[in-house]
Amino acid sequence: MVRGVDAVWDSGIVVVVAAGNNGPEPMSISTPGISRKVITVGASDDNVPIELSGNKMIDYSGRGPTLACIKKPDIVAPGSDIISCNALKNYSRYLGMKDTSNTAGRNGLFRSPLRLRFNSRGEKYNIMYTSKSGTSMATPIVTGAIALLLSVHPELSNRDVKMKLRESTTDLGYSWSKQGCGLLNVEKLLQ
């Protein structure tokens, strides 16, 4: 898998991968995040009100270095309690379904509800959206920031993007093995 992402990187494409949720032990970065070339993203605390210290690292985020002594992750981003689309295997069964909740449209047909419910494990969910935590939720945030950067500076190479990303972070005061270069700072990235 590392050879695969390295080949994609070598073709000029920006590759962003999750650090994995095998932390907090050292050398717990998951494949393909161990690649020297790709941008590896760990999860940081996203300052939700229930947290007592606003920039504490998520305990499960993969930590560096890699077994080959490569400094990873490259960067961290919010990864806790991220609301995202819910991938439904049988989404089509909900289309046109009668909705008796207060989220129904004028014709009473199902529309996108924002009201969250809780499953048996206490996780928030609803039919269209879900709340998840992990490095796989932090990674799209970094990818979105990179998309913004490339929309302003399409001439940047993948290496330029990685360097600019690293240079524009906010230091959380943790070791490299926990935070990489630091927390994603989109405002600084786009300057």
Q: How far apart are the first and last CA of the chain?
A: 34
- pLDDT at residue 134, rounded to an integer: 86
Give the residue range(s) of CATH 3.40.50.200 domains in the chain.
2-80+133-189
Q: What is the pLDDT of residues 87-134, one digit of tens each?
A: 765 544 444 444 444 444 444 444 444 455 566 666 655 567 777 888
Least confident of 4-18, 53-67, 71-85: 53-67
pLDDT in tens, 146-158: 999 999 999 999 9
As to burial, measured by CB atoms within 10 angstroms (0-12 exposed, 13-18 middle, 19+ buried), residue 164 is: middle
Q: What is the DSSP code string of 10-32? A: HTT---EEE--S--SSTT-PPTT
Distance CA 109, CA 30 (A): 43
Q: Write out the DSSP string of 69-104.
A: -----SEEEE-SSEEEE---TTGGGGTT-B--STT-
- The CATH number given to 2-80+133-189 is 3.40.50.200
> What are the CA-CA distances from residue 94 to residues 21, 64, 102, 109, 127 (Å)?
32, 43, 16, 10, 9
Q: What value does the mean pLDDT of the chain take?
A: 81
